[in-house]
Amino acid sequence: MATERTFSILKPDATKRNLTGAVNAVIEKAGLRIVGQRRIQMSKAQAEKFYEVHAARPFFGELVEFMISGPVVVQVLEGENAIAKYREVMGATNPAQADEGTIRKTFSESVGENTVHGSDSAENAKLEIAQFFQDSDIAG
């Protein structure tokens, strides 16, 4: 195992319900360090680019509209095995199938509005971090 970085988004359902602190507490308790964090309003173009791998899926339009429906918190998380670790902490995409104690099981209300995003591979982590952070902002 090595120290790695992953990209996280606290989605609009989290900011809307004042859950950013509660979600961050779960992240930090799991041993992941928040080394970059910014609250932004995503543009439609940014959301479409971010989720472009899902462009052909039936839920794509709904997903983009949701991601721009309110502010999000973009984050860089660091830790041992951070990419896989954060996927575990998030839980399954559908909160109904997520394990107890995961962020999605605890906080999410539907498969679409599922509170958090986390990168699924080292390659995507790198690309996703680069879409939202300057190297100089997360150098420490």
Numbered residues of the known binding site for ATP: 11, 59, 87, 93, 104, 114
SS (H, E, C) 94-127: CHHHCCCCCHHHHHCCCCCCCCEEECCCHHHHHH
Strands (E) located in the chain: 3-10, 33-40, 72-80, 116-118
Residue nearest to Mg ion (CB): 120
Given the residues 9, 12, 79, 117, the one annotated as active site: 117
120 binds ligand ADP (CB under 6 A): yes
Q: Which residues lie below 8 Å from residue 126, measured CB to CB, with a gap of 6+?
A: none
Catalytic annotation on 117?
yes
Least distance in angstroms from the C-beta of 133 to Mg ion? 19
- Of positions 3, 93, 131, 134, contacts ligand ADP by CB under 6 A: 93
The token pair at 86 is 């954060």
Residues that bind ligand ADP (CB under 6 A): 54, 59, 62-63, 93, 111-112, 114, 117, 120
